[in-house]
Chains A and B, each alone.
Chain A
Amino acid sequence: MDNQNFSFIGKIRDSNIYFAFTKSPTAIISTIILMIIFFCSFFVELIAPYNPFDPSSLDLMEAFTPPSWSKDGMSKFLLGTDGQGRDMLSTILYGSRISLIVGFAAILFSLILGVSLGLTAGYFGGKYEMIVMRITDVQLTVPSILMALLIDGIARGVISKELHNEMAIYVLIFAIGISEWPQFARVSRAATLVEKNKDYISASTIIGVPNIKIMFKHILPNILRPILVIGTIGLALAIIAESTLSFLGVGVPPTTPSLGTLIRIGNDFLFSGEWWITFFPAIFLVILAFSINLLGDWMRDTLNPKLN
């Protein structure tokens, strides 16, 4: 195989993954959608037509404007306005940023915690492994929503109300992160056990390579695949979890509304006919979650060596 590419880009191009990616329309479309969303949320100050949190820009006369294509709509508010005259499009963009930040941070936290515990548990075994696995087993029987609610509830009891509002986002990240780490731990541990039994690990042990080095240099790169899949799907779950909690009223504080908060606020107006206040944030959320899930699903199918 002498015509191989040794450059990095070349290697990516040659790899099976890239091939499968370019052949799969779902993967491409979902990635494009996600990139658009990410881009918009990060540069929201530049992109959003209005800043919905600037009270001076609000005009109550413009409240409850329906989307621009309907009868009473105004072209300057593409998706209409809410009960306070805030432009829907802008609030959604800001809201999605919150949702994304919380989701990403939570899953990152989960990942680091879960993978370190799972990998070390699988590698060292013994009592340590047993304890870690017991904890994950027990926690896995508790649904993540419940877990997150629990932590949130404890936090509310422990921290004073004012402080709580400031810290709400961190608490939320922590709560969701804690609720998802067992998944990562379990997958990491299982994958570690598989790798640990392989001879190349024995070879390194015999050579005398210290344990930490073996775990980082040999095991970790080889268990990344399933972790990546779980991570992607977990991200979707985290975002949904955050929006659910915000919807229930125990998520982000009302000062920094996420998509979930928007949906909740809009829900009150549903029956009186102003459907767009809840509808558009909901659609946005679904598109976001759906794209992530599509990507994660595609990853799972391609990265799984067994299902060929």
Chain B
Amino acid sequence: MLVVAFVSFSLFTFVGDPVHNMVGQETSDEERGEIRETLGLNDPIPVQFIRFVSNASRGNFGISYQLRRPVSELIAERLPATLELVFISSLIALVFGTLLGVYTGINRKSFVSDIILAVSLLGVSLPTFVIGILFIYLFAVILGILPSFGRGDVIEIGFWTTGLLTISGLKAIILPSVTLSLFQMTYIIRLVRAEMMEILQTDYIKFARARGISEKSIQYKHALKNGLIPVITIAGINIGTLVAFSIITETVFQWPGMGFLFIQAVKFVDIPIMSAYLVFIAFIFVMINFIVDILYYFIDPRIRVKSESANG
């Protein structure tokens, strides 16, 4: 339900947009009028909307104004690049973020924790593009061991192109994915840390200690389990944010993904691409939320098993 609401909302605004603006400023009024007619812009809004939705569900997003190619083709080309990048990044962010977050949450006073926290704070203050530039400069220009742009060689599997199966592809993905993951990783570290610290103060942890359960067991069994719950929600939003931030990373590293496409579209006000991108993003987000809800169901028994406060 939310899907429909969200999607239709954002798209509707686009359909209503004065698309005519970007059809070249030299075009005469009559020509503009014609183009509007072909694009169906003179039809009443609800009709346009319905047409849009029906087209969209069939994968037809129209033709890019700027590149003059069907949008769906463009997207299909770029999608794998972005998805691979996002996937690797989120993996890095989640795994390292959680590990470090747990460590700093448990060992509140250690020196190592302080260093990790300081670095994480730095990470939040470094805009992604600065990190990207830094990395490029360091690894590509000075050290010259990793490529500074592009995706390396790719292998086609069906309609999917993957860079993960080639050496150069793997090399190429390292810098962008680490760059992309850094911002999120620091966020996760802080979140997990806050969670762990709060949990370690609860009554049930105190009671477990009173029963003589070892500190290690308390930390890794009791506290951790409870601490992971909010991380799952965050992980979901995380991936969404990564997709968005990939725009930046792709621009810096000239990674041929959807983000890069989108930026160009914004610059040239290429509406079909913009709206198509949005539909995709919306779709991805909804999917993620859905998966997170399902995961919650499995992890938190309070949701899974209804409470029987009447009995007992």
Chain A interface residues (CB < 8 Å from chain B): 138, 140-143, 145-146, 149-150, 152-154, 156-158, 160, 236, 240, 243-244, 247-250, 260, 263, 267, 270-271, 275, 278, 282, 285-286, 289-290, 292-294, 297, 306-307
Is B129 engaged at the interface, CB distance under 8 Å to the other chain?
A: yes
Could you give 27 example pairs across A and B, Cβ below 8 Å?
A141-B240, A142-B244, A143-B241, A143-B244, A145-B244, A146-B281, A149-B247, A150-B274, A150-B278, A153-B269, A154-B17, A156-B269, A157-B21, A160-B21, A236-B125, A240-B127, A247-B248, A249-B263, A270-B133, A270-B137, A286-B122, A286-B125, A292-B125, A293-B125, A297-B121, A306-B198, A307-B198
Q: A282-B130, A290-B122, A297-B121 are in contact. Are A145 and B248 (CB under 8 A)?
A: yes
CB neighbours (8 Å) of B2 from chain A are 138
In the assembled complex, the CB of A304 is this many whole angstroms from the nearest CB of chain B, namely 9
User: In the docked arrangement, what's the CA distance between A293 and B175, Å?
Assistant: 25
How many contacts between A and B, using CB within 8 angstroms? 112
Give the distance in Å from the alpha carbon of A180 to the alpha carbon of B107 in the complex. Answer: 33
Q: Is B219 among interface residues, defined by CB-CB distance under 8 A?
A: no
- In the bound complex, CA of A244 to CA of B259 (Å): 14
Residues of B within 8 A of A140 (CB): 237
- Residues on the B chain within 8 Å of A248, using CB: 129, 247-248, 251, 263
In Å, the complex CA distance between A292 and B290 comes to: 36
Contact flags B132-150 to A (C-beta < 8 A → 1, else 0):
0110110001000000000
Residues A152 and B266 in contact, CB atoms below 8 Å apart: yes
Contact residues of B between 239 and 264, Cβ < 8 Å to A: 240-241, 243-245, 247-248, 251, 262-263
Please determine whether A286 and B126 come into contact, CB atoms closer than 8 angstroms.
Answer: yes
- A-side contacts of B278, CB under 8 Å: 150
| Residues in chain A near residue B22, CB distance under 8 A | 157
The main secondary structure of chain B at its interface with chain A is: helix
Are B121 and A247 in contact, with the CB atoms below 8 A?
A: no
- For the complex of A and B, the 6 pairs showing the least CB-CB separation, nearest first, are A143-B244, A289-B125, A290-B125, A153-B266, A146-B244, A143-B241
Given contacts A141-B240, A248-B251, contact A294 B121 (CB under 8 A): yes
- Beyond A270-B133, A293-B125, whether A250 also contacts B21 by CB under 8 A is no
Using an 8 Å CB-CB cutoff, how does the interface string of B26-48 with A read, 1 for contact, 0 for none? Answer: 00000000000000000000000
Which residues in window 197-245 of B have CB below 8 A to A?
A: 197-198, 201, 237, 240-241, 243-245
A150 to B201, CA, bound (A): 43
- Shortest Cβ distance from B120 into chain A, in angstroms? 10
Other A-B contacts than A138-B2, A156-B266, A286-B126, 5 sampled, CB-CB below 8 A, are A157-B19, A247-B127, A289-B124, A289-B125, A290-B122
**A271 contact from B18, B134, B141, B251, Cβ within 8 A:** B141
Q: Does B271 sit within 8 A of A, measured CB to CB? A: yes
B296: interface (CB < 8 Å): no
A141→B266 contact, CB < 8 A: no
Q: CB of B267 within 8 A of chain A?
A: yes
B285 in the interface (beta carbon within 8 A):
yes
Complex CA gap A158/B267 in Å reads 13
